[in-house]
């Protein structure tokens, strides 16, 4: 009897909502909603939808920026070329995964540590928040140029390491050696981006009720137990956001490479985005560059979905 009543009530509610949507007031609200959303939807279609469709179409052609002949259809040849006849693309794929595998956990973990430190209620903590966040608002181009000078053999990094080791450390051309170029860019990238994710972690920490920590303290939980059983579960939604945003940024690595190494030495710092730009614009192979861009899009989409699946609440 109760089930029948609930079902009837639910059906009646749905019918009432549908009927309400047909009223003049409901139709007026719908028109107002679409009118307010229209500028954003139009901009999204013009600047994202149309370029994506054009890139999809170009990826099946041999289009070039400057060519006396028009583009011709080549099917999936561009995609086959990327995986079978382009060693630079395979190297860029490995470099991108290498960069993301190191930067994502290091930057997320360091951001959480900094957030825990600046979340303390002590005098002058806002000064440290500003200092940690300052690199985020600095242009990546400017940061890359400054760090390029710092990584020179006579730069600040070598001078500091030489002083710390009492002169035992000899200068290294960090950006000219295949073994050190990518790690050097990783250090720069973590330093520049950790402040942003510190703020995100800090926002998540401040949503956790203080009563939970008080209850845990009354039960005899130490700091590690409070973090494990109170802080970390409360940061679950924040973890998903931080992991996805850092991963997308890591896979989109371009500015540092373009300014500091140009993909060298020996393609040791070439990434997917840099390789796509190099092929599409500098070497004028627009069709092939479009194919590389779509491969990048699918790759980021798959990784983001896997992260979402692994970090979602069960």
In angstroms, the CA 153 to CA 100 distance is 27
- Mean pLDDT, residues 243-269: 91
- Mean pLDDT, residues 68-83: 86
- Do residues 271 and 103 make contact, with C-beta atoms less than 8 angstroms apart? no
61 backbone dihedrals φ, ψ, rounded to 5°: -130, 175
Does the model's pTM come out above 0.85?
no
- Do residues 279 and 208 make contact, with C-beta atoms less than 8 angstroms apart? no
Per-residue confidence at 110, pLDDT binned at 50, 70, 90? very high
What share of the chain has pLDDT > 70, as a percent? 92
Say if residue 214's pLDDT is above 60.
yes
What is the third-level CATH fold of 87-311?
Answer: MetI-like fold (1.10.3720)
* pLDDT of amino acid 14: 47
Is the bond preceding residue 52 a cis peptide, omega within 30 degrees?
A: no
Say if residue 1's pLDDT is above 70.
no
- Mean pLDDT, residues 19-32: 75
Question: Rounded to whole angstroms, what are the CA distances from 271 to 87, 96, 101, 108, 137?
Answer: 12, 5, 14, 21, 24
Per the model's pLDDT, the better-predicted residue between 212 and 313 turns out to be 212
Tens of pLDDT along 47-67?
988 988 988 898 999 888 777
- For the chain, the structural domain boundaries read 87-311
* pLDDT of amino acid 314: 53
């Amino acid at each position: 009897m109760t089930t029948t009543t609930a079902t009837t009530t639910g059906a009646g509610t749905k019918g009432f909502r549908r009927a309400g949507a047909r009223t003049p007031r409901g139709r007026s609200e719908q028109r107002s909603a679409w009118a307010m959303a229209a500028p954003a939807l139009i901009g999204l279609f013009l600047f994202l939808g149309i370029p994506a469709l054009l890139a999809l179409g170009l990826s099946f052609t041999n289009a070039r920026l400057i060519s006396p002949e028009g583009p011709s259809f080549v099917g999936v040849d561009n995609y086959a070329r990327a995986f079978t006849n382009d060693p630079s693309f395979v190297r860029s794929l490995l470099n991108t995964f290498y960069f993301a595998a190191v930067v994502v956990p290091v930057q997320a973990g360091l951001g959480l540590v900094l957030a825990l430190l600046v979340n303390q209620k002590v005098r002058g903590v806002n000064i440290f928040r500003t200092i940690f966040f300052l690199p985020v608002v600095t242009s990546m181009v400017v940061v890359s140029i400054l760090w390029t000078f710092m990584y020179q053999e006579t730069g600040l990094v070598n001078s500091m390491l030489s002083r710390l080791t009492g002169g035992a450390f000899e200068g290294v051309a960090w950006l000219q050696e295949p073994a050190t170029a990518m790690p050097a860019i990783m250090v720069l990238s973590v330093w520049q981006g950790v402040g942003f994710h510190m703020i995100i972690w800090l926002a998540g920490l401040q949503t956790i009720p203080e009563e939970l920590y008080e209850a845990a303290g009354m039960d005899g939980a130490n700091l590690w137990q409070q973090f494990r059983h109170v802080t970390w579960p409360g940061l679950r939604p924040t973890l998903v956001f931080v992991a996805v945003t850092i991963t997308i940024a890591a896979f989109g690595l371009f500015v540092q490479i373009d300014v500091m190494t140009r993909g060298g030495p020996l393609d040791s710092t070439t990434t997917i985005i840099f390789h796509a730009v190099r092929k599409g614009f500098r070497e004028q192979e627009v069709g092939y560059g479009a194919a590389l861009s779509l491969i990048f899009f699918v790759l980021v989409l798959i990784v983001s979905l896997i992260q979402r699946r692994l970090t979602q609440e069960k």
